[in-house]
Amino acid sequence: MRTTEPTKTEYKDAPVSLRDRVLTRLWFVLMLLPLVGGMLLNLFLTPPSEGITVTGAQIYFTVSLPFENLPAPIRDLPITESQVNSALVLLFLLFFCLFLTQGMRARGKSARQVLAEFIVEKVEGFVSSTMGEGYAGFPPFICAILMLSAFSSLLSLLGLYAPTSDINVVGGWAILVFLMITRYKLKAGFGSYVKGFLEPIPVLAPFNVLSEFSTPISMAFRHYGNVMSGGVIATLVYAGLAGLSTAVFGWLPGFLGDIPFFQIGIPAVLSIYFDLFSGCLQAFIFAMLTMLYISLAAPEKEST
């Protein structure tokens, strides 16, 4: 019996099930909850301060481990603002992915599905052009690094502490990448791994070892330094604009002299660069370095 393909109209008019509609709205609400929760935590747990301050991640509370005779660095477990905000970003990304991929279909695609497919195609092309066709399993990992880093930096747009401003967070990412690099080098054989430290001449072995272990350090400090310095510069400029407003418009009568006119608009322009552009740029650079280091660690045919 001959069958006919459904027409484009039949695909387009296919109704969305009630389950898909409910789950789509549920994922959207759950996607926003971590951000709202982070802003509420910041509002109620951040102590009031006078003037402009530049500080690190706030310690919300400390968990005392019920063990004795432990070394001092691991005796207590501080729960910091950067740890909490990192967990909130992970929850946001989880529900964001569920929101984009809910109710996917072959025809009559929704705008969410088109966006999801666009992200997948771009990341796969990015990885393929940078690492080669033999690294087809890496796009999910690279996409996770890009989104985690970018959205962590973008938290500052909501007035939250960016986890990428904490060297401990970015250092953890760099150590993970370093372990992956070492794994792929060891896949070629332990002898080949050790031999790499003796090239081009054995006398350079100490420098090769130093270069090997400097990889995660340079990756971490490059990312952390750029994001943190951007936040410090923006804060200092914001404070300077307040003083400039007082000096220029302080003579105005009444409350007009107290209005920081120069703080209106100019900090928003700085935020576009330091928070949006610079944060996304550092995420791109971190992902690019990750791909380059891993692709150089092992031949393309051994990467799968």
Region of poorest pLDDT, from 56-70, 72-86, 179-193? 56-70
pLDDT of residue 267: 67
- Mind listing the pLDDT tens digit for each residue in 151-186? 998 888 887 888 888 888 999 999 988 998 888 888
pLDDT of residue 147: 92
CA pair distance 145, 135, nearest whole angstrom: 16
Stronger pLDDT, 16 or 116, i.e. the higher one? 116
Residue 292 pLDDT exceeds 80: yes
- Mean residue pLDDT of the chain comes to 80
pLDDT at 11: 42
Average pLDDT over residues 89-104: 91
pLDDT band, very low/low/confident/very high, at 261 (cuts 50, 70, 90): low
Cα distances (Å, whole numbers) of residue 228 to 85, 112, 165: 16, 33, 5
Mean pLDDT of 63-76: 66
Nearest Cα to Cα of residue 294 among 119, 86, 166, 139: 139
pLDDT tens per residue, range 194-234:
777 777 777 778 888 888 888 888 888 888 888 887 777 77
Q: Is the pLDDT of residue 2 over 80?
A: no
Q: Which two tokens stand for residue 33?
A: 């909850």
C-alpha–C-alpha distance, residues 206 and 202, integer Å: 9
- Which pLDDT belongs to residue 84? 92
Q: Is 72 exposed, middle or buried (0-12, 13-18, 19+ CB in 10 A)?
A: exposed
**What are 75's two structure tokens?**
């005796």
The single residue listed with the structure tokens 């996770």 is 144
**Domain layout of the chain by residue ranges:** 17-45+57-63+72-103, 110-155+165-304
The answer to whether the CB of 100 falls within 8 A of the CB of 115 is yes
What does pTM read for this prediction?
0.80
pLDDT at 26: 92
What angle is formed at CA 246 by the lines to CA 241 and CA 248, rounded to 5 degrees? 90
Residue 49: predicted pLDDT: 64
pLDDT digits (tens, 9 = 90+) for 39-53: 888 888 877 666 566
Q: In angstroms, rounded to a whole number, what is the distance separating the alpha carbons of residues 60 and 268?
A: 29
Residue-wise pLDDT tens digits, 9-39: 444 445 678 888 899 999 999 999 999 998 8
- Per-residue confidence (pLDDT) for residue 229, from 0 to 100: 78
The pLDDT of residue 1 is 43
